[in-house]
Homo-oligomer: A and B are copies of this chain.
Amino acid sequence: MFATHLRCRDCQAQYDLKMMYACPKCGGLLEVEYDQANLLNPEHILHPDSDFYGLWKFHRMLPLKDTKNIVSLGEGDTPILRADRISQTWELPIDLYLKAEMLNPSGSFKDRPSTMAVSMAKELGHKAVVVASSGNASAAVASYAARAGIQCIVFIPKSTDPGKIVQAQSYGAKVFAVDGTFSDAYDMSMKCAVEYDFPNCTSTYVNPYTVEANKTVAYEIFYQLKGNVPDYITVPIGTGPLLAGTFKGFEELLAMGLITKLPKMIGVQAQQCMPIVRAFTDGSPVLAWQEPIHTIAGGIADPLDGYTKDGETTLKVIDLCSGAMVSLTEEEIKKSTDAVEQLIGLYSEPTGAVSVGAVEKLFHENVIPAGSSVVCLVTGHGFKFTKRSFSSPSVIHTLTDLTF
């Protein structure tokens, strides 16, 4: 509502609020800028618009001009749950919370950027949207496109397991398999977006509007923890817009005088694909991940091939808040998933649970000190992980066959 222009994150050049994916001058990523004096009114947070569900209660903090263009399925307002059974079992002297982002309508946090992107597409009068994704993002964008009555076009690499696109297809999305890698699928989505003027809703930093919706995670945590800012927020990341958007939300709350400190943001990757962790640890530029990838956390296994700039953007945020990056082994990821499911009762895909294992690791590495408060964003539903093993139940004939 108070958005004024797009600004290049690199050269600071300004552009009108339309669908753009990179600075025409320098190729930098674009960000939404606002009329700060009007945006930073604490009333927008303290008295959100109760005519809308979930994250759209905060529509005055978002770039959409007219609320009649909101395309919503009730996303946002995901619960925060205390995770005492995890901190006790793992002997962590930490005030631990999980934010259940998997409870968004299509089953992942990607509903936040997608509701924003499709609403902007509607406001700008587009008849179709495109997305390169073989997972949560394609499902999310397809669901909002169905809600809006807009065509959704999905690009996946040819090697994608067809089972992963069932959800997007069920919403009516048209799926194309690109002969090549994910990078090729991404390139094709961009060519299609430019050629046909269909907004690209791929949930990297490419669409400047999508990251804005992630700010609402901060507003919700502010409410849910009754104004207390957690010391750390751990976030599973492929490229990092959720981490960056959440931090931007807290920066706004600080600028409004509603909070007095900022959280430290922790990005979490799988050791099997950790281009941003590697750059953080080595103090080197972000390079595309070339090694083979074998991980159960497929949703964050993004080699950043062709858009390492996204990784740099995330590292700038980590640097700004004195945060950290950390990676988990496959065993640690499995342990995290089991803990979220068996100690908390939330069904979680392994990707989404890495934020929890990160806390244990960083506590033992003396990065997160005893007595800290930590919110873990648990980003994807357990239903998304279809390759689960299960044990054949014992067959019983009488009550005496029961063994506990």
Q: List residues of chain A with CB under 8 Å of any chain B CB.
A: 53-54, 72-74, 77-79, 81, 85, 100, 103, 105-107, 128, 139, 142-149, 151, 153, 156, 158, 162-163, 165-167, 169-172, 174-179, 188, 191-192, 195, 341-347, 381-384, 388, 390-397, 399, 401-402, 404
Contacts and interface: CB of A to CB of B under 8 A. Distances in A.
12 contacts: A73-B100, A143-B347, A144-B345, A147-B345, A149-B343, A153-B402, A167-B347, A170-B382, A171-B341, A174-B404, A177-B396, A191-B399
A132 to B, nearest CB: 13
A146 B404 contact: no
A26 to B, nearest CB: 26
Given A176-B396, A179-B395, A395-B177, A166 B103 contact: no
B388 A170 contact: yes
A28 B23 CA distance: 72
Given A162-B392, A167-B383, A169-B390, 5 more contacts: A147-B345, A169-B391, A176-B396, A177-B392, A383-B383
- Majority secondary structure of chain A interface residues (helix, strand, loop or mixed): mixed
Contact of A74 (B103, B149, B162, B402): B103
B342 A171 contact: yes
Nearest to A100: B74
A162 B383 CA distance: 15
Contacts of A393: 156, 162, 165, 175-177
Contact of A341 (B107, B170, B381, B388): B170
A359 to B, nearest CB: 19
A57 to B, nearest CB: 12
A250 to B, nearest CB: 22
Nearest to A195: B399
Contact of A346 (B73, B78, B81, B156): B73
A71 B81 CA distance: 11
Contacts of A77: 77
B79 A53 contact: yes
A271 to B, nearest CB: 23
Interface centre among A148, A158, A170, A388 (most CB of B within 10 A): A170
A73 B396 contact: no
Contacts of A191: 399
3 shortest interchain CB distances as A-B pairs:
A74-B79, A383-B383, A147-B345
Contacts of A166: 388, 390
Contacts of A404: 128, 151, 153, 174
Contact of A347 (B53, B72, B106, B177): B106
Contact of A390 (B143, B146, B165, B384): B165
A172 B347 CA distance: 11
Interface centre among A72, A107, A151 (most CB of B within 10 A): A107
Contacts of A192: 399, 402
A146 B396 contact: no
A156 B388 CA distance: 19
A146 B177 contact: no
Contacts of A107: 347, 381, 383
A103 B397 CA distance: 36
A223 B177 CA distance: 45
Given A176-B394, A177-B394, A396-B188, A345 B171 contact: yes
B85 A347 contact: no
Contacts of A169: 390-391
A361 to B, nearest CB: 23
Nearest to A395: B177
A167 B341 CA distance: 9
A158 B144 CA distance: 40
Given A146-B341, A156-B393, A382-B167, A103 B100 contact: no
